[in-house]
Structure 1
């Protein structure tokens, strides 16, 4: 992979996620992150997802996926390209996403059942309140400030945090593989985010749980489960209807047998959760 291919093919959000960097504020096309090279209270790193570029308002420096990797790993262009090759999901095995110091200054203060009115309202807004027992209420401190959110643990024991204003991971980014000992068929159902998993569980009757579940938490994590997916007779995909989701779907379809693309169910919507939310709103 050369520089032009990397800039064109590798999604900037995925690269930032691989370093545990997540938006502080975002919309569909742009987002603000904290700076890559310094601590700050007000985010100044602006990312344009459409152009696949970023700009640091604090330093006046522009970034692409290559220069982001160079900054985070303090490496050469060739080393950055080698790092970026993993996002084409090559045949490498047992690779680990690089960890970062971005969220090392955090502390989980309290873990409990979902009780806070704001989180209850948020789960109801996302139409998954019935699945509240599958997530936790997490109170945490990050860079000296206290926050709370809906928490979902991954295989590394780190926690994905979501609330109305925030989408971050405390600790190491990883997948969440949920085994079902009572499954009647060797199938795995793959989701991009845990809210789609909660949505699916909401639609599925408890007595009919027949599969294992895999939540990627980021399409960049696919390389971690390449061997795991080979163990299943069927793979059902509930990925996002966007460039990242479509690219990941194509990779899985090319690599494995008996893959079903379930995103056709919510064609015209970003993901399963958005489809259900809009559908239930219309039915009211």
Structure 2
């Protein structure tokens, strides 16, 4: 595909989600995201899913899918095209104007059951979390005329976080996953593999804590008010700029928030650290 074809055929939502960017506010056609090139408290990036373009009200700059990749990765058009070439199946939904309405699901789930497929069993064992396989599901689905199977983790909006060795996406609405056990303490994780890892390390069989999986730090705004109810907040976020910035913001807002990433200093996240040490 040439540049114009890519701008039309690769969804802007797909590109943003590939960078773990999700809407703060959304309706059927448009959504607001936080800016691509700066920190802000009020989202200023307006995304039109029908036109497949974005506009930053803070800078007056317009974006297409190519310039979004260039801005985030600080790369050339050529490198941006290479990046986009890897996203041919990675979006969760298609939106179009039709008699039925704006929103049309582009995937179909055929089966959900306990983890049994040898490839997924092997995948969980490689990530050292197979002992916690009862907390996830095996999901079979059809996406863009192709059949896939993967590990699925349910979020609070009924969406499913999807992972296997080759890709990670979300089927359905993006949201956090809150596991409530009636505790006044909560442990927060960026992704569900870190949650599974923590449960594995601690051999957790009791209900001593509540657990929150963000499924993306962009989802933190959905749960911030509830966090003030807890007497202790343990943060197990990624050791990357986004994770560290989120930890900084959390510690400024909640005096009882503790950064637990020191446990896995030098590693991307808790799961990577655990896999290397065992």
TM-score per shorter chain, which class? 0.5 to 0.7
Q: CA deviation at 1:247?
A: 0.5
Question: Given the superposition, is the C-alpha separation of residues 228 and 46 from structure 1 closer, same or farther in structure 2, using an over 3 Å criterion?
Answer: closer
Q: Matches of 1:36 and 1:168 in 2, distance apart?
A: 21
SS in 2 for 1:269: coil
Superposed CA offset, 1:54-103 (max 9, x none): xxxxxxxxxx938985454756431898xxxxxxxxxxxxxxxxx96379
Alpha-carbon distance between aligned partners in 1 of 2:181 and 2:121, rounded to the nearest angstrom: 27
User: Match of 1:65?
Assistant: 36
Q: Please list every run of at least 4 consecutive aligned residues from structure 1 whose deviation after the TM superposition is greater than 6 angstroms.
A: 44-49
Question: Structure 1: how far apart are the matches of 2:133 and 2:199?
Answer: 11
1:171 & 1:212 partners in 2: Cα distance? 24
How far 1:204 sits from its partner (Å)? Answer: 1.4
Retained in 2: the 8 A contact 1:192–1:218? yes
Residue 205 of structure 1 and its aligned partner are, at CA, apart by 2.8
Instruction: Give the direction of change, closer, same or farther, for the CA distance of 1:36–1:255 in structure 2 (3 Å limit).
Output: farther
Bigger strand fraction? 2
Provide TM-score, normalisation by structure 1: 0.66
Structure 1: 5+ residue runs without aligned partners? Answer: 1-33, 50-63, 82-98
2 CA distance for matches of 1:263 and 1:168?
Answer: 25
Q: TM-score, normalised by structure 2?
A: 0.68
**Structure 2: stretches of 5+ with no match in the other structure:** 20-34, 38-43, 61-91, 96-103
**Superposed, which structure 2 residues align to 1:1-284 within 5 Å?**
37-38=8-9, 65=36, 69-70=46-47, 72=49, 74=53, 76-78=55-57, 101=94, 104-181=105-182, 183=183, 186-280=184-278
C-alpha change, 1:148 and 1:180, in structure 2 (3 Å) is same
- Cα shift readout 1:148-182 (whole Å, capped 9, x = no counterpart): 0000000000000000001000011110000114x
RMSD, aligned CA:
3.1
Aligned to 1:8: none
